Each structure stands twice: as structure tokens, then as C-alpha cells.
């Protein structure tokens, strides 16, 4: 076995590989880019080497730098993870040349499987069922004639492609010529190779794949199937193992086909043979992925095998377990939590993670994020994989829902609620799932966020009322002074105040009456006696009449994220004492008008400012803005110094307190 390996990847998969290496007593070397200086994979490895700037071509794809890092640290092998260099035959060859073991199949196997035409030709020869189609070389006219022969609809695929790139669906001969040109153009620019192949389009297939392994002694085994049909634009979102509702005959056929495919190429290492399963139950080989896949944990859950450990064993010349020793039990589901906004056409969401709770004690959660770290625009948007396993599929779905409900992320937008709606969909429950599931059920899946109910608003109000009397948030240093009290105390009057909360863009005024040990809150619809049992960071435990709640409240500028009952609500907060933070942003007040950089700070904390006094000069989008005091008052805090980046619109630049209140 190796003494030391280098992991040529980042994020959750780098951590995943480090975990298995550690269990085998193998030392680990991480590599990292500028953007990943503080990333968990860098901290977890025994050594870490900085390899360049944030864009992947200058770091995680720069294979000379990576091989040099392996040489320098004495790593005997490189694990490429998935993505990046994992299916790059030139990289595998360069590793071999440099005398470093590439943890994966030999370069020629990667190269053959990287060409869909070569792979299909080999499969056809070996008796693996392939989709009817055409893989030869012909003129464009000749290809059109072949498409007629296959019968429309026809799929044009880039031979070098993957993940749907360079793929075109052609419904009739009228569109063929144009689709062919555009597929070739895309393939040329994406892969530098415009060779294409034609396939009969399978209308509503399930996407079934089989995990296989080969060792250097000629043994090939499979670790059962996964169903990865729930995808969006070829981005898998939910994967499960085993594939449900396959007949024993279908299961055996698909496993046999996968083994035949792996044997045909003399496969070594971890691989995945992808199939489509049509409505009639026929399976067809689509392609083979010559890497460890994102969704490998569901296979680990049902087989109890450590797939990374198997890879390491094979790469160091070890032998695979016997097929008869590989058993599957239970049903596993993985959901991919991604930083994207389903309400904005799934645009990636970048930003700093301000709050993070993941159900790591109850479930397997593979992730590489932490509070305070950025989700950067340089890499993919997946932030965590939640993996559950239970006796059967129905139980696994329930656990997956619970795992998501216990996952709280603030600071960026995630697809959590979108995933929850998929899992809760009746057709998902009955496993009526194919590759069009998301498109077909778009109406059910893309719905507006839930209206906050009274308990969520109460959580926010109680958080505001209680957090201001926490240490650090008090004005007077004299605990018994009436000025120390933050309970709206008034001589000879009930202690009353109002809290302004924005709910669905409407300001609600909540009347607060301070009671002996709690509050009487008057909301739009209801009144409730409320008591805070504890406030610990973001975690607030409170009672609202007879009911007890536990919520997390994350207040960032004028935004409050409330996590309660498995839901996330976004509320706005207006503090009249602080000159209405929300409106103020628009009026050029103390909130950043847009992201930018601080050029100069004119004042100091503790100064008393009159309205209009310049506080700081910021530059945003090439324009300078002066931030001025919005009212007369005391400057309590300056949040930035000259040279600091302001990462987002709306974040507080300074905190002031009005001098005189009537």
C-alpha cells in the first residue's frame, strides 16, 4: 500500500478521499488554489501545496503543477477525484511518465472510453446491447440518410462529449442538417473534436448505471446499480441504489452487460457503466465513466464497501474481493444540495456562508464547506451531499426529507426546498421516475417560497428583543441602571414598543408589551404570550402560548433568515432606532449601496456626527460614493477599513445610534 498520496481535487471529494486514506494509514497531500486557501480539504490533509490562481486551468487542471507537487512531497500516487483531471488520458499518461501512480484506469482505457464512437464499437463487438444508431464516418448528406434509416427522433451526440454537451435532439429530417452543424460547432469548441455519432432517441428512459471495479489481476466485479434519473440539464440531483422496480431478469441483464463492458476493455479501477432503460424494459449501453462518481456513496451504503479504499487497493496492486462477497441490503438515497436559485432559473448563488447546520450526527453528509467560507464562482455549485439509507425506498425517502429539513444554510441560496418538493412528490414516491421527471412536474416543483407563519415572525421578533440585551449589545456598563434595561421601560406606564418586520415585502408592525418574564406580541392575525427559554448564538428556544419552538435566526444587515420546523423564511427587519435600515440603503445611508471597495474612512468610532457628515468613501462599479451620517448621533461601529472589499449590496458599513430620542 502507498505511504503518501496527493489528491488532485477540492471540496467534498478531496475530504472523502482523505478520510479513506487516513483509515489506511496513508499520508495525504492536498493541492489548493487561491480561492481555496482556507478550505477544509487544505486543513484536513497532512500537507498542502498551493498550485495557483482560482480559475481551474491555472490550478486544478494544471497538470504539470500537480505532478510537480507530488514529486516535491514524495507522494507515490495521485487520486484525481471526479471532474477536473479524472478522465484526462493525457494526465494519466503524464503521471505514469513521471513515475507517479495515477489512481484510475490506464491512459489507453480512459482514451477509448472517452470516445463514444470507439466505446460503442467495442461494445457492439463484445455483445453489449447498444442503442441502434450509426458510428461511422460519412458526409453530412450520408449521415442524414443514416438518420432516416434509424428513424426519427434521432439524437446527435458528440463523440468526445459528456453531460449532454454537443448533443442535439432531431425530431424530423427537416432539422437534421442544421442540428448536425450546430452539434459539430459546439463539440469543436468544447472538446476540440467535432466527430459525432447518431442514435435512435429513447423517449422517456430511466438512467441506470452499474458500479464496476477491475483489478490488475484480471478480476472484474460489479457493485449493483444506481438510478440517477432525476436530473436537470444533465445535472443529477437525486440518486438512489439499488434501482427500484427492476425485474430480476432486468437486473441480471444490466449487471451482466456492465461486466461484459468492463471485461471487453480490460478495465482496471473504479468505473461506471451507464445505461438507458426504455419503457419496454430494454437496456442499452450509453457510455462508460472511468472515474469515481459523485454518487458513489449510495453504493457504499447498500454494499458496506469503501469504494475509495478499493481504488487504493487496486492501484497498489491488490486484489478485489470476490463477487460472491459483495452483497446489497437496504435502499440508499443521495440528494445534492447546491448553491443555486431555483426561482431564478437555477442561477448559481455565490456568497459567504453565514450559517450552516447539517445533520451530520444522524446521516452521512459529504461536504467541504464551513461558516465564513465563500461559495466562489470558480467551481461547481454543489455544496453538500446528504446520503441516507434505510430498510426500503419509502423509509429512505422519509429520511432524505428529514435530512434536508435539518439542513440550514444562510448567506447563499440553495436548492433545498426544490429537492424537498421532488422527494415529497407523489410520483417520486411511487418511483414513476424517468429523465423527464423535473420538466414534467415543473409546475409542482417550482413554487413560491412559503409565507412565514406567525411562529416564524415571532421567532424573529423574540430574537431581536432578546439579542439586544445579550452581552456586547448593551449600552450601559452599570447593570442596575435603568439605562441598562432594553425593555422599553417607562415610568408609570406599561412597557410598550413596536417592532417592524417585513414579510413578503409588506411591513408588519408588531406591538410588543414587555411582561415580567416575557412578551405579549400583537401580530396581524393573533396575539400571543411569548417567553424566550434560551438564546445561544443563532439558536433561540421559545414558547408561544402553550407551544414550544426551536428556531435559528440569522440576522445579516436588514435580512433575517429564520429556520423553523424544517423551513427557511426570509424576513426583513426595520429598526426605527437605526433610521430604517432598509429604506436607508436606498437613500445612501449606512448600508452598502452595492458591492465594491472602501477607499477611505473619514471618522472614528466614538465620534458624535451630525447628519450629512462624510463617514467613508467607497468605490463600486468604477463610481465613487460618499457614505454620510443619515442623522445626528454617535458612531458605534465602523465595519470596514480602507482597502476592504464590500462583498454584497446591503451589508452594513457602519452602525450609528441617534443622540436624542423624543
Report how far residue 352's alpha carbon sits from residue 257's, in angstroms, rounded to the nearest whole number. 46
Indicate whether 286 belongs to the interface with ligand MV4 (CB under 6 A). Answer: yes
User: The cell 426570509 sits on which residue?
Assistant: 570
Is 236 strand, coil or helix? strand
Q: How far is the CB of 434 from ligand MV4 (least distance, A)?
A: 9
Specify the residue, 191 or 602, whose C-beta has the smaller distance to ligand MV4. 191
Establish if 243 lies at the interface with ligand MV4 (CB under 6 A): no
User: 119 by DSSP, 3-state: which?
Assistant: helix
Shortest distance, position 530 Cβ to ligand MV4, whole Å? 49
By C-beta, is 257 or 276 nearer to ligand MV4? Answer: 276
Regarding 518 and contact with ligand MV4 (CB under 6 A), the answer is no
Interaction residues for ligand MV4, span 423-482 (CB under 6 A) = 435
* 344 Cα distance to chain centroid: 16
Of residues 206 and 364, the one with the C-beta less far from ligand MV4: 206
Could you tell me the smallest distance in angstroms from the CB atom of residue 441 to ligand MV4? 14
Task: Provide the pairing of β-strand 4-7 with 27-33.
Answer: parallel
Taking the mean position of all CA atoms in its chain, how far away is CA 449? 19
Cβ atoms < 10 Å from Cβ of 291: 23
114 binds ligand MV4 (CB under 6 A): no
Question: Which run of H or of E encompasses 83?
Answer: none
Least distance (Å) between residue 287 CB and ligand MV4: 6
Residue 276 near ligand MV4 by CB under 6 A = yes
Nearest to 556 by CA among 588, 523, 583, 581: 581
Position 135 contacts ligand MV4 (CB under 6 A): no
User: Quick one: which of 5, 100, 123, 131 contacts ligand MV4 (CB under 6 A)?
Assistant: 131
In the three-class reduction of DSSP (H, G, I as helix; E, B as strand; rest coil), residue 427 is classed as helix
Q: What is the nearest approach in angstroms of ligand MV4 to the Cβ of residue 622?
A: 42
Closest CA to 90 of 70, 61, 116: 61
User: By C-alpha distance, which of 535, 555, 630 is closest to 591?
Assistant: 630
C-alpha cell at 129: 446491447
Q: Does 294 bind ligand MV4 (CB under 6 A)?
A: no
Question: Can residue 164 be called a binding residue for ligand MV4 (CB under 6 A)?
Answer: yes
**C-alpha dihedral over 70, 75, 80, 85, to 10 degrees?**
20
Q: Which is nearer to ligand MV4, 235 or 357 (CB)?
A: 235
Taking the complex as a whole, the smallest distance from the CB of residue 284 to ligand MV4 amounts, in Å, to 7
Give residue for cell 470596514.
Answer: 640
Binding mask 187-216 for ligand MV4 (x = CB under 6 A): ------------xxxx--x-x---------
Closest CB to ligand MV4 among 36 and 434? 434
156 versus 553: smaller Cβ distance to ligand MV4: 156
In the complex, least distance from residue 436 CB atom to ligand MV4, rounded to whole angstroms = 7
Q: Which helix (H) or strand (E) holds 72?
A: helix 63-73
Show Cβ contacts of residue 157 under 8 Å, excluding neighbours closer than 6 positions: 116, 166, 167, 183, 196, 197, 198, 199
Q: Give me the residue label for grid cell 410520483.
A: 427
Contacts of 519 (CB under 8 A, 6+ apart): 461, 462, 465, 512, 513, 529, 530, 531
Total of chain residues touching ligand MV4, rule CB under 6 A: 16
Question: Would you count residue 115 as binding ligand MV4 (CB under 6 A)?
Answer: no
Shortest separation between residue 230's beta carbon and ligand MV4, angstroms: 9
Dist CA 218 CA 372 (whole Å): 48
To the query of whether residue 291 is one of the catalytic residues in this protein, the response is yes
Binding of residue 237 to ligand MV4 (CB under 6 A): no
Q: How far is CA 101 from CA 22, 23, 109, 317, in A?
A: 18, 20, 15, 11
Closer Cβ to ligand MV4, 182 or 529, answer by number: 182
Residue 492 backbone class (left: φ over 0; alpha: ψ -120 to 50; beta: rest): left
124 binds ligand MV4 (CB under 6 A): no
- Which of 16, 184, 206, 291 is catalytic? The answer is 291
Query: Considering only residues 71, 217, 234, 470, which one is a binding residue for ligand MV4 as defined by CB under 6 A?
Result: 234
Site residues for ligand MV4, window 10-39 (CB under 6 A)? none
Residues that bind ligand MV4 (CB under 6 A): 131, 155, 164, 199-202, 205, 207, 231, 234, 274, 276, 286-287, 435
Active site positions, annotated: 291
Amino acid at each position: 500500500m502507498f505511504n503518501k498520496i496527493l489528491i488532485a481535487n477540492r471540496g467534498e471529494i478531496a475530504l472523502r478521499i482523505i478520510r479513506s486514506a487516513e483509515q489506511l494509514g496513508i499520508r495525504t497531500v492536498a493541492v489548493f488554489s487561491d480561492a481555496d486557501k482556507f478550505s477544509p480539504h487544505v486543513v484536513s490533509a497532512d500537507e498542502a501545496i498551493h498550485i495557483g490562481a482560482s480559475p481551474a486551468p491555472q490550478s486544478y487542471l494544471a497538470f504539470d503543477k500537480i505532478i510537480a507537487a507530488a514529486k516535491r512531497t514524495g507522494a507515490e500516487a495521485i487520486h484525481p477525484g471526479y471532474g477536473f483531471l479524472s478522465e484526462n488520458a493525457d494526465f494519466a499518461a503524464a503521471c505514469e511518465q513521471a513515475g507517479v501512480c495515477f489512481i484510475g484506469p490506464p491512459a489507453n482505457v480512459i482514451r477509448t472510453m472517452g470516445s463514444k464512437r470507439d466505446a460503442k464499437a467495442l461494445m457492439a463487438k463484445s455483445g453489449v446491447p447498444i442503442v441502434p444508431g450509426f458510428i461511422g464516418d460519412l458526409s453530412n448528406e450520408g449521415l442524414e440518410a443514416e438518420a432516416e434509416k434509424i428513424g426519427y427522433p434521432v439524437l446527435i451526440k458528440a463523440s468526445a462529449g459528456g453531460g449532454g454537451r454537443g448533443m442535439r435532439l432531431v425530431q424530423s429530417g427537416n432539422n437534421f442538417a442544421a442540428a448536425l452543424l450546430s452539434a459539430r460547432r459546439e463539440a469543436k469548441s468544447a472538446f476540440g473534436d467535432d466527430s459525432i455519432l447518431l442514435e435512435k432517441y429513447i423517449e422517456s428512459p430511466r438512467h441506470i448505471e452499474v458500479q464496476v471495479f477491475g483489478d490488475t489481476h484480471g478480476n472484474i466485479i460489479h457493485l449493483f446499480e444506481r438510478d440517477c434519473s432525476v436530473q436537470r440539464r444533465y445535472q443529477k440531483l437525486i440518486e438512489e441504489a439499488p434501482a427500484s422496480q427492476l425485474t430480476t431478469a432486468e437486473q441480471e441483464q444490466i449487471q451482466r452487460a456492465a461486466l461484459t463492458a468492463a471485461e471487453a476493455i480490460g478495465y482496471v479501477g473504479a468505473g461506471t457503466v451507464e445505461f438507458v432503460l426504455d419503457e419496454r424494459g430494454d437496456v442499452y449501453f450509453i457510455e462508460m465513466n472511468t472515474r469515481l462518481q459523485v454518487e458513489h456513496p449510495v453504493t457504499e451504503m447498500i454494499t458496506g464497501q469503501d469504494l475509495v479504499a478499493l481504488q487504493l487497493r487496486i492501484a497498489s496492486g491488490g486484489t478485489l474481493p470476490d463477487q460472491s462477497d459483495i452483497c446489497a441490503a437496504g435502499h440508499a438515497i443521495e440528494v445534492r444540495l447546491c448553491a443555486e436559485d431555483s426561482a431564478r432559473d437555477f442561477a448559481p448563488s455565490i456568497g459567504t456562508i453565514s450559517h450552516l447546520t447539517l445533520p451530520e450526527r444522524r446521516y452521512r453528509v459529504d461536504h467541504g464547506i464551513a461558516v465564513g467560507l465563500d461559495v466562489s464562482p470558480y467551481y461547481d455549485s454543489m455544496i453538500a451531499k446528504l446520503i441516507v439509507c434505510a430498510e426500503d425506498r419509502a423509509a429512505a425517502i422519509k429520511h432524505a426529507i428529514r435530512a434536508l429539513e435539518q439542513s440550514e444554510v444562510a448567506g447563499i441560496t440553495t436548492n433545498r426546498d426544490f429537492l424537498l418538493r421532488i422527494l415529497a412528490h407523489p410520483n417520486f414516491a411511487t418511483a414513476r421516475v424517468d429523465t423527464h421527471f423535473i420538466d414534467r412536474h415543473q409546475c409542482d416543483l417550482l413554487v413560491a417560497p412559503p409565507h412565514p407563519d406567525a411562529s416564524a415572525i415571532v421567532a424573529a421578533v423574540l430574537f431581536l428583543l432578546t439579542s439586544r440585551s445579550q452581552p456586547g449589545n448593551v449600552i450601559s456598563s452599570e447593570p442596575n441602571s435603568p439605562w441598562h434595561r432594553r425593555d422599553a421601560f417607562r415610568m408609570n406606564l406599561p412597557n410598550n414598543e413596536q417592532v417592524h418586520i417585513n414579510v413578503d415585502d409588506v411591513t408588519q408592525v408588531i406591538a410588543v408589551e414587555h411582561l415580567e418574564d416575557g412578551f405579549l406580541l400583537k401580530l396581524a392575525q393573533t396575539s400571543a404570550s411569548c417567553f424566550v427559554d434560551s438564546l445561544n448564538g443563532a439558536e433561540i428556544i421559545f414558547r408561544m402560548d402553550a407551544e414550544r419552538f426551536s428556531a435559528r435566526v440569522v440576522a445579516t444587515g436588514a435580512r433575517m433568515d429564520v429556520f423553523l420546523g424544517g423551513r427557511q423564511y426570509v424576513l426583513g427587519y426595520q429598526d426605527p432606532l437605526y433610521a430604517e435600515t432598509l429604506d436607508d440603503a436606498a437613500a445612501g445611508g449606512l448600508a452598502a449601496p452595492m458591492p465594491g471597495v472602501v477607499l477611505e474612512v473619514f471618522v472614528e468610532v466614538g465620534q458624535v456626527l451630525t447628519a450629512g457628515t462624510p463617514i467613508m468613501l467607497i468605490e463600486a462599479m468604477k463610481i465613487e460614493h460618499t457614505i454620510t451620517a443619515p442623522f445626528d448621533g454617535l458612531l458605534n461601529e465602523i465595519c470596514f477599513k480602507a482597502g476592504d472589499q464590500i462583498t454584497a449590496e446591503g451589508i452594513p458599513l457602519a452602525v450609528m445610534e441617534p443622540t436624542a430620542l423624543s
